[in-house]
């Protein structure tokens, strides 16, 4: 394994809940700057300032769920697509050629036996196809690492997907507060079931990704502190956190909109609100880096919906992963989970070049041709 796995960095695993809360709330500019600088130093110690890429393919917007905040929830009227396998394989070849290391297959949730069989075959084909490809990176592991983000499934199905060759799984808990979770979802979406899925994924052997939305209506600083403890207790290897972004036509979004209208929110207010959200989200990145150490933390796309350089800022505050969108342009408009989602009109090659530039701008280096496993996973196993 990579030598970075042996490194240690000054993580603050004993930071108290009260200190975390203070660092999320403080308006002291020097304290905040110190938090961000410390997180960046820990990232640098583990990853040598290198940023890993995961190519994300949003292969289907078919979803059986009705999460209250999401733009592709079942109740939204929109054209539903599932990409044909050969197009997904083209995306996999593209990722391999670019040295991305990992392909992340994401979709709405659909737990039919047909979908599972289809995924099992697809994973096998991606592994087989990419193993046969030459890369410009002689040290690279054979084939792409396959990561999945396809929702709540039975443990037996998780096992089949793992045995087919998938190595990582992302399933956000969305919030560690069960009461808040119940307010944001219909009654048949159970927080406890999601926790059970996360435990099952860990048992099966996946590198586990989870995460939350930040700035949810009704969410408190105490909830965010609990989120950090939840990540530690579930033993997550990857933490995907993004700001909650308003989406018109959703129950949570519309309730939010009424409140904003009543308060007479101006364009200026909206900009200030967005800046506060980027600030709060990146404080969570910094605290996750300090508290959890060698986990992977992606700078999520939703940050860029609020701030044109939101993702770069995140790379300087603890994040070590970028996820260029590889989904063919024609499908992107139909995979809008939230408003102002960036990169809707771009193609995979443009996203690749754009993100490479952003890495440089942030003063980091691009790590190509490696899977980029989080040291945490190997330390734990």
Choose the one of ligand 5AD, ligand SF4, none that binds residue 109, judging by a C-beta under 5 to 8 angstroms depending on kind.
Answer: ligand SF4
Choose the one of ligand 5AD, ligand SF4, none that binds residue 244, judging by a C-beta under 5 to 8 angstroms depending on kind.
Answer: ligand 5AD
H-assigned helices in the chain: 17-25, 29-47, 85-98, 113-131, 155-163, 178-184, 191-204, 221-234, 251-262, 267-292, 301-306, 310-315, 329-332, 348-361, 375-380
- Residues shown for the chain: 381
243 part of the interface to ligand SF4, by CB under 6 A: no
Pairwise CA distance, residues 85 & 104, whole Å: 15
109 part of the interface to ligand SF4, by CB under 6 A: yes
Number of residues that bind ligand SF4 (CB under 6 A): 10
241 part of the interface to ligand 5AD, by CB under 6 A: no
Choose the one of ligand SF4, ligand 5AD, none that binds residue 172, judging by a C-beta under 5 to 8 angstroms depending on kind.
Answer: ligand 5AD
Mask for 325-344, x = binds ligand SF4 (CB under 6 A): ------------x-------
Distances 227 to 5, 36, 212, 221, 238 between C-alpha atoms, Å: 26, 19, 7, 10, 13
Choose the one of ligand SF4, ligand 5AD, none that binds residue 245, judging by a C-beta under 5 to 8 angstroms depending on kind.
Answer: ligand 5AD
Least distance between ligand 5AD and beta carbon 93 (Å): 25
Segment interacting with ligand SF4, rule: CB under 6 A, options 59-67, 129-137, 280-288, 349-357: 59-67
Helix (H, G, I), strand (E, B) or coil at 10: coil
94 part of the interface to ligand 5AD, by CB under 6 A: no
Pairwise CA distance, residues 164 & 89, whole Å: 16
Sign of CA dihedral 309, 312, 316, 317: positive
Sign of CA dihedral 224, 226, 230, 236: positive
Q: Which residue, 151 or 310, is less far from ligand SF4 as judged by CB?
A: 151
Pairwise CA distance, residues 47 & 50, whole Å: 5
312 part of the interface to ligand SF4, by CB under 6 A: no
Segment 264-271 long-range contacts (CB within 8 Å, at least 24 positions apart): none
From the list 51, 83, 204, 337, which residue makes contact with ligand 5AD (rule: CB under 6 A)? 337
67 part of the interface to ligand SF4, by CB under 6 A: yes
For ligand SF4, the binding residues in 141-200 under the rule CB under 6 A are 151
Q: Which residue, 107 or 135, is less far from ligand 5AD as judged by CB?
A: 107
Sign of CA dihedral 144, 149, 155, 160: negative
From the list 143, 242, 298, 318, which residue makes contact with ligand 5AD (rule: CB under 6 A)? 242
Choose the one of ligand SF4, ligand 5AD, none that binds residue 284, judging by a C-beta under 5 to 8 angstroms depending on kind.
Answer: none
Q: Which residue, 12 or 81, is less far from ligand 5AD as judged by CB?
A: 81
Helix axes 191-204, 221-234, angle to 10 degrees: 30
73 part of the interface to ligand SF4, by CB under 6 A: yes
How big is the CA angle at 279 (ends 40 and 21), to the nearest 5 degrees?
A: 85
Distances 355 to 68, 101, 350 between C-alpha atoms, Å: 31, 15, 9
Interface with ligand 5AD (CB under 6 A): 69-70, 172, 174, 213, 242, 244-245, 247, 302, 337-338
Binding site for ligand SF4 (CB under 6 A): 63, 65, 67, 70, 72-73, 108-109, 151, 337
């Amino acid at each position: 394994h990579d030598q970075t796995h042996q490194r240690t960095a000054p993580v603050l695993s004993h930071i108290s809940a009260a200190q975390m809360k203070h660092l999320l709330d403080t308006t002291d500019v020097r304290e905040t700057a110190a938090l961000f600088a410390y997180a960046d130093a820990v990232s640098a110690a583990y990853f040598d300032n290198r940023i890993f890429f995961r190519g994300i393919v949003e292969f289907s917007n078919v979803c059986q769920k009705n999460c209250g905040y999401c733009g592709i929830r079942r109740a939204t009227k929109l054209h539903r697509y599932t990409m044909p396998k050969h197009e997904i394989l083209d995306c996999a070849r593209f990722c391999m050629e670019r040295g991305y290391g990992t392909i992340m297959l994401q979709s709405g949730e659909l737990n039919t036996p047909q979908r599972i069989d289809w995924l099992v075959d697809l994973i096998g084909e991606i592994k087989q196809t990419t193993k046969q490809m030459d890369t410009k990176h002689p040290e690279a592991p054979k084939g792409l690492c396959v990561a999945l983000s396809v929702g709540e499934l039975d443990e037996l199905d998780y096992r089949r997907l793992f045995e087919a060759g998938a190595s990582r799984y992302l399933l956000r808990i969305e919030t560690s507060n069960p009461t808040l979770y119940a307010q944001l979802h219909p009654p048949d979406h159970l927080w406890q079931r999601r926790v059970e899925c996360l435990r099952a994924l860990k048992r099966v052997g996946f590198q586990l990704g989870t995460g939350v939305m930040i700035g949810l209506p009704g969410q408190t600083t105490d909830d965010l502190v609990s989120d950090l403890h939840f990540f530690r207790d579930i033993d997550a290897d990857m933490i995907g956190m993004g700001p909650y972004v308003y989406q018109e036509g959703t129950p949570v979004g519309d309730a939010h909109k009424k409140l904003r209208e009543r308060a007479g929110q101006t364009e200026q207010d909206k900009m200030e609100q967005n800046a506060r959200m980027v600030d709060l989200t990146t404080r969570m990145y910094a605290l996750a880096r300090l508290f959890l150490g060698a986990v992977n933390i992606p700078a999520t796309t939703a940050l860029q919906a609020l701030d044109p350089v939101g993702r770069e800022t995140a790379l300087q505050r603890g994040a070590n992963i970028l996820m260029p969108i590889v989904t063919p342009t024609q499908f992107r408009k139909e995979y809008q989970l939230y408003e102002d989602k960036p990169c809707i009109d771009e193609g995979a090659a443009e996203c690749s070049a754009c993100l490479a530039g952003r890495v440089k701008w942030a003063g980091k280096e691009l790590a190509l041709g490696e899977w980029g496993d989080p040291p945490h996973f190997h330390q734990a196993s």
